[in-house]
Structure formats: structure tokens, C-alpha cells
A and B are shown apart, each in its own frame.
Chain A
Amino acid sequence: MNFAYDAGIVITVAVCTFLTRLFPFALFGRTQQPHPLVLYIGKILPSAVIAVLIIYCLKTVQFTSLPGYAPQFLGIAIVAALHVWKRNYLLSIGVGTVCYMFMVQMVF
């Protein structure tokens, strides 16, 4: 573990996050609106990025054996079904995670 590099990553994330929050305040006043392209990116890109992040979470999935993919996909199915049904963040994430932990620890 490299302390300085890790600290650098954290600082980079902190600064970039603050910059995205600062952006509208720094550049636009009460009447002036940002360029339409900026608004478009800000509105549309997050849906694509979240999709990429789901793939990112699944990057270690192995289709060669059942325990390599079944817990992840069953877990996602549980989260998705619960969320479509109840629309309750805590319920979907909580139950889904506990089911996943149970599957990787006890079942597979």
C-alpha cells in the first residue's frame, strides 16, 4: 500500500467533486445559463456512467463455474425486483446485500 499515492487519489476525487459542484456557481449568474451542450452532458451522461459502473462491479464475474456468476446475477435480480416493487432504496440495497452475503458465504 502506497500512502502518498492513495492520499493523492483521495485528494484528486475530492477536488474534482468540488469542481463539479462549483462549476455553475463560478460560471453562471442569475440569468446567464450554461451552454446547451454542457446541460445535455450533465443530464444524459450520468445514466450511461451508472450503467458502466454496474459492469465495473461485475468485472470479476467468471462464467466458467456457477459460483463465479450466480450470486451476482441472483443478487441483482433480487435488488431490481424489490426496487421495482417497493421503490425503497434501503430495502432494496439492504435485503439484496444480505442475500448476496448469504449466498457467497453459505450456498455457493
Chain B
Amino acid sequence: MMKHIRYVFVRTLPVLFAFLFLGIAFGLLLQRAGYNFVWALLISTFVYAGSMQFVLVPFLGSGINLFTVILMTLSINCRHIFYGLSFIRKFKGMGKLYPYMIFSLTDETYSLLCSTKIPEELDENKVTFGIALFNHIYWIAGSVTGSLLGQFITFDTTGIEFAMTALFVVIFIEQWMSVRTHLPAIAGLLCGTAALLIFGAGSFILPALIASIVIILASKNIVQAKEGALK
């Protein structure tokens, strides 16, 4: 058991740093919005989706309609479809852990599971489950720490909300560099800007998402010609 824990801990160290850092930023934001560590604990335990949790913060207390929430969550997280495809067989063989493995398949857990060659002497299922569980715990620990920091240590946190902008800029650059066609990214920027100008800050996100989806569907042939066949 100990050697499994040690192996999983070493493998997940990079995620530990990333999740503590981002989790703390999330907890601080949530605290600033007026929601204490209980919210941080519950959201990070049961939602457990980095970018989406940042998007969720300004939703709270805003009276946003649930349809917008649903469309945003589905479009931000639709990338998960790909993650699951690679692990259908493996997770199905994990018995009682199967539902948890599906639930906890975040970007980071996915990339660790893809890149980890589990040593012969270790139990594959234990290591797979361990990686998923440890990452989840890091994320919860970071979020709760952040909200407690915000609650008990008084320093000026004005501007901490920029962590969300910075996170999206970083993801945007990573995606930009990983694909050949930038049409979807540019479409998103244009649709977002146009919708903001037309509908105003309060209600532009839904039309912006719908317009992006329409453009992406309409330009399927162009995008696929440039991107090549989907794997």
C-alpha cells in the first residue's frame, strides 16, 4: 500500500502545485464574492472542474437563468468527451470505482493517466484510482485554503479576479499553438465582442455561445480540411 501511495504522490506532484495555486485563487474569489469555505468545499468536491468553477463564481447571486448555465457548462466541458473515449475499457474494469473514475476525469488527471507507464510490480487499478483521488484532494485542499485565507487574513485582494482572465488567456494560447486552424478561436473572439456590443455586459454570453456554435457547424468542412481527420 505504502509503495502505491509513494508512487502516486511523486507522479502527481506537478498537479499538487498547480491545483494548490489555482484552488487558492478560486477560494479567494469565492470568498470575495461572499461565499465561505463551505461553498468552496462543496463546489470543489462535487463540481470539480477548474475553468468552469471560475466561471461559476460570478453566476452566484446574479440570478442568471439556468439555461445559460447549462449551455455554458456543456460547451466549456464538451472536451471531456475525448478524455473518456480513451478510458472506456480501463475504467469499466475497475468495479465499484467506475463511477468515481468517470466523475474525476479532469484535464490534469487525463493527461497524467495518459502519460503514466505503471510499473509491473504495482497494481494498475490502485495507481489509476490513486492518481484521480489525489488530484481531487489537492483541488479541494487548495480551494478551502484559499477561502479561509480570504476570511482570516486581511490583505487587499482587489484584482485577484484577474486570475480567471489569466487562466483563460493561458488556455487560449495553448490551444492556439496546438491547432493549425485558428478560425474557431477567432470566431469566438469576434462573436464575443459583437454580442457584448449588441446585448451589453449583462446578457451577451448566451448569444455569443450560440453564434460561435453556429459558425463552427457552418465552417465544418473548412476546419476539417485544415485540421485533417479527427482521431
| A in complex with B | yes
Q: What residues make up the interface of A, taking CB atoms closer than 8 Å to B? A: 1-2, 5-6, 8-10, 12-14, 16-25, 28-30, 33-34, 36-60, 71-72, 75-76, 79-80, 83-84, 89-90, 92-94, 96-97, 100-105
Task: Tell me what chain B mostly uses at the interface: helix, strand, loop, or mixed.
Answer: helix
Q: List 12 A-B contacts (CB under 8 A).
A: A10-B42, A21-B80, A24-B85, A25-B88, A45-B216, A46-B75, A51-B189, A54-B165, A56-B192, A72-B162, A79-B165, A94-B21
The answer to whether A83 and B170 touch across the interface, beta carbons within 8 angstroms, is: yes
Give the distance to chain A from B99, nearest Cβ to Cβ, in Å.
Answer: 9
In the complex where A29-B88, A43-B82, A46-B175 touch, is A51 in contact with B162 (Cβ < 8 A)?
Answer: no
Give the distance to chain A from B206, nearest Cβ to Cβ, in Å.
Answer: 10
Give the complex CA separation of A30 and B186 in angstroms: 35
Chain B residue numbers with a CB within 8 Å of A58 are 165
The answer to whether B81 and A39 touch across the interface, beta carbons within 8 angstroms, is: yes
Give the complex CA separation of A43 and B80 in angstroms: 9
The answer to whether A17 and B162 touch across the interface, beta carbons within 8 angstroms, is: no
B55-63, B117-125, B134-142: which one contacts chain A? Answer: B55-63
Chain B residue numbers with a CB within 8 Å of A41 are 78, 213, 216-217
Give the complex CA separation of A5 and B52 in angstroms: 18
Report how many residues on chain B are interfacial, defined by Cβ distance under 8 Å.
Answer: 92
- Which of A24, A44, A101 is within 8 Å of B158, CB to CB? A101
For B163, the closest partner residue in chain A by CB is A97
Give the distance to chain B from A104, nearest Cβ to Cβ, in Å.
Answer: 4
The answer to whether A17 and B48 touch across the interface, beta carbons within 8 angstroms, is: yes
For B71, the closest partner residue in chain A by CB is A16
Chain B residue numbers with a CB within 8 Å of A84 are 173
For A24, the closest partner residue in chain B by CB is B84
Give the complex CA separation of A28 and B115 in angstroms: 23
Chain B residue numbers with a CB within 8 Å of A105 are 156, 158-159
Q: Mark B10-52, 1 if CB is under 8 A from A, else 0.
A: 0000000110011001000000001100010011001111011
Give the distance to chain B from A59, nearest Cβ to Cβ, in Å.
Answer: 4
Other A-B pairs beyond A8-B66, A56-B208, A97-B166, 6, CB < 8 Å = A10-B39, A13-B59, A21-B77, A46-B76, A83-B174, A101-B157
